[in-house]
Amino acid sequence: MAPNDEFIREVDEEYRRDQLTQIWNRYNGVIIGIAILIVAAVGGWRYWEHYQQTQSQAAAAQYEDALKLSREEKSKEAETALETLAKDGSTGYGLLARFRLAAELGRQNAENGASAYDALANDANVNPLWQDLARLRAAWLRIDSADPATLRPALERLAVPANAWRHSARELLGLSGLKAGDMDYAGRWFDQIAADRETPQSLRQRLSIYTALVAGGAVQVTQ
């Protein structure tokens, strides 16, 4: 390297060191403060992650305990455990517990379970996807007791091609037609099930029974 180049390089480095020294002397308090804030933010985030993980693990254990009580036919104890967990909005298990609680109530009394699903369907804090599932579950519980016509408006909104629950909604609509003796109505929904390429295989197997019932026509009751 030429002497002039070496001299220029040394002068340039010395200049940069002087600049850094001046910046440090002028802003060292700010720099230290920013560094502390960064460390605190990272530490706080790590603590929050750990807290969330701990909460989730505790909620999972509570949910498993509630399911165990349900399997052991200890319905009241299971409902109490689920009610406690359902009040916890910090994890996804709170919502899961509300759905399971509605199912437990439905085992004892269909309308009580359907009403619990109605509460989920009408809760603006619940994701629309899960609101629709709650509407569907409520309809399942009411299919044997309610006037079919009262179930149809909500189910028809779920039966559209883009809805994730369309297959079950169409099945329920078809069943509502069978219960009402309206074979044309039932047949229209069963046709949609047959035409949908994404219809689950289990539903296609049931469909053969439904279409046979439609073909047989309404049952005439004689005295």
Residue recorded with tokens 């200049």: 15
Sequential pLDDT tens for the chain (223 residues)? 555 555 455 545 655 666 666 655 666 666 666 666 666 666 655 644 554 555 556 656 666 666 666 666 666 776 777 777 777 655 677 888 888 889 888 888 999 999 999 999 999 989 999 999 999 999 999 998 889 889 999 999 999 999 999 999 999 999 999 999 999 999 999 999 999 999 999 999 999 999 999 887 654 433 3
Distance CA 167, CA 173 (A): 10
Domain extent listing, the chain: 73-142, 148-216
State CA 7 to chain mean position distance.
69
